Amino acid sequence: MSQRLRPVSPIWVAGRPQHGEEEFFVTHPFDDSPVGATSWATTGQVEAAVTAADEVAEEAASLPAHARADALEHVRRRLDEEAETCAELITAESGKPIAWARIEVQRAVSTFRWAAEEARRFSGKLQRLDTDESAEGRMAFVRRFPRGPVLGITPFNFPLNLVAHKVAPAIAAGCPIVVKPAPATPLSSLHLGALFSETELPSAMMSVLPVPNDRAGQLVEDPRLPVVSFTGSGPVGAQILRQVPGKHVTLELGGNGAVLVSADYPRRDWAAERIATFGNYQAGQSCIAVQRVFIEASAFADMAERIADHVRALPTGDPNDPACKVGPMIDAQAAERVESWVNAAVDGGAKVLCGGSPRSGATLEPTVLSEVRHDSLVLREEVFGPVLVLQSVDDFEAGLAAINDSRYGLQAGVFTERLPQIMRAHRELEVGGVVVGDVPSFRADQMPYGGVKDSGVGREGVASAMEDYTTERVLVLPDTL
């Protein structure tokens, strides 16, 4: 597959394009062809970016709402204008099928639109205090103020929209931000940096610094970056919490997304198609991809057959093909790990309903397993690959318990039309979000999003992230002056 090699992308140091001393290629996961290049930020460039963010923090906090909103609206408009270019860039560096990449771009457009709107309505609240006799004649005015510069660390699987979910709320709230993109996929975030350079914001409000992961500690520990917002793996998130216990840290970590299908759910083919699609979209490399599927026993055989049929029908291959739905994983090492987990499950007695063929480079055939041992890695851990595990449960209550039998708790999907079951699922499931009549992979970019247990702390979604990046300050006023 031929790829057009792009010019060397500059990094963005305090809003200014620069080049580091050491360049590196970005390669396409499908065939390892080079698709672009950039450079690692030097120690001096990192220092310059953090210093600038620290120095501009007071100015950023005092920017009027219309200035922040206008800048965000400019980026939204430019992303929309360059939607196809951005989608091609996402596919080139991540291997995400172009159809999914186009959706990601439109989600990023929406994220910046929401941020522009939230910047305009992010206000305080008035609270009466005369509910107690001792506070008669007083009221409280509560406003939120920026905590300071934000360090945003982003993963490879959404190289544009998950960067948007760090940057947009930071700018909307008046916080400078330093972005450290995933080393495998820096190009989309660097393009976003170029779009921000076109705005009238103080240039120091945004930096995009490709930094090797083994050098990220310098940024995490810097006291001039009091907020760390990280999306990625659980072990790294836990390490960050240990490193900086005094900082405000938001962690969006892993999951092993589960769905529960009730026996009397009438739209079985809809459920099967959604499970098949969102167990394998982006080759399963999403923290809310479907992984565990619990089906009430009387519906298990029928649903298992439907799901396997839909998985077999998913178009795979070259991610530049608009028909492709399942492309490669991020690299051969990731595919090899998932393949080894599948093989271990099969060696332990699991039944392969479809897939399971040997990998080809970074490409792994979508696979459906049943009769998996309870201690199998594909059931207990986050696969982060195109693998579905189907399990029969005695009843709805047992299905809820099975979903909760995990150290993760990000989102869950429940296929039922019974209101008592819906309300019970919402009450009992130990997750950050319950999606009714669909898979856990559903996310609207304005809603609160995050998990419990080992799936993280804090919430994203533009307004929720703005609250995370700011702190309340109370002003107590007399009724009369």
| pLDDT tens figures, 99-158 | 999 999 999 999 999 999 999 999 999 999 999 999 999 999 999 999 999 999 999 999
For the segment 162-188, the average pLDDT, to the nearest whole number, is 98
Going by C-alpha positions, the residue among 49, 386, 383, 408 that lies closest to residue 224 is: 49
Asked if residue 285 and residue 241 are part of one domain, the reply reads no
Residue 456 has pLDDT above 90, yes or no: yes
Residue 7 has pLDDT above 90, yes or no: no
Residue 356 included in any domain = yes
The more confident residue out of 438 and 479 is 438
Residue 450 included in any domain = no
Residue 64 has pLDDT above 80, yes or no: yes
**Cα–chain-centroid distance for residue 276?**
20
Asked if residue 283 and residue 247 are part of one domain, the reply reads no
**Which secondary-structure segment (H or E) carries 336?**
helix 332-347
Residue 236 included in any domain = yes
Cβ-count burial 157-190 (b if 16+ within 10 Å, e if not)? bbbbbbbbbbbbbbbbbbbbbbbbbbbbbbbbbb
**pLDDT tens-digit readout, 231-275:** 999 999 999 999 999 999 999 999 999 999 999 999 999 999 999
Decide if 233 contacts 251 (C-beta within 8 A). Answer: no
CATH code where residue 386 lies: 3.40.309.10
Asked if residue 78 and residue 172 are part of one domain, the reply reads yes
Residue 58 has pLDDT above 60, yes or no: yes
Two tokens, residue 453 = 């247990």
Two tokens, residue 132 = 């107690």
Residue 5 included in any domain = no
Band of residue 1 on the pLDDT scale cut at 50, 70, 90:
very low
Residue 481 included in any domain = no
Return d(Cα 343, Cα 265) in angstroms, integer: 33
Asked if residue 304 and residue 287 are part of one domain, the reply reads yes
**pLDDT tens-digit readout, 177-206:** 999 999 999 999 999 999 999 999 999 999
Asked if residue 126 and residue 66 are part of one domain, the reply reads yes
What pLDDT sits at residue 481?
Answer: 74
Residues annotated as catalytic are 252, 287
Residue 2 included in any domain = no
Asked if residue 460 and residue 439 are part of one domain, the reply reads no
Return d(Cα 125, Cα 143) in angstroms, integer: 7
Band of residue 305 on the pLDDT scale cut at 50, 70, 90:
very high
Asked if residue 308 and residue 278 are part of one domain, the reply reads yes
CATH code where residue 192 lies: 3.40.605.10
SS3 243: helix
Two tokens, residue 399 = 């299905």
For the segment 335-353, the average pLDDT, to the nearest whole number, is 98
Residue type, 344: A
What pLDDT sits at residue 4?
Answer: 57
What pLDDT sits at residue 78?
Answer: 98
Residue 65 included in any domain = yes
Beta-bridged to residue 387, according to DSSP, are 367
What pLDDT sits at residue 5?
Answer: 65
Band of residue 6 on the pLDDT scale cut at 50, 70, 90:
confident
What's the whole-number average pLDDT of the chain? 96
What pLDDT sits at residue 294?
Answer: 98
What share of the chain in percent tops pLDDT 90?
98
What pLDDT sits at residue 2?
Answer: 43
Asked if residue 327 and residue 203 are part of one domain, the reply reads no
Asked if residue 232 and residue 95 are part of one domain, the reply reads yes
* pTM assigned to the model: 0.96
Going by C-alpha positions, the residue among 248, 274, 243 that lies closest to residue 261 is: 274
Band of residue 3 on the pLDDT scale cut at 50, 70, 90:
low
Asked if residue 244 and residue 106 are part of one domain, the reply reads yes
Two tokens, residue 36 = 């672009």
Asked if residue 273 and residue 311 are part of one domain, the reply reads yes
What total of structural domains would you count in the chain? 2
Asked if residue 186 and residue 306 are part of one domain, the reply reads no
Residue 1 included in any domain = no
Two tokens, residue 156 = 């490879």
**Domain enclosing residue 241, as ranges:** 11-253+455-474
Q: Which residues contact 430 (CB under 8 A, 6 or more apart)?
A: 404, 409, 452, 453
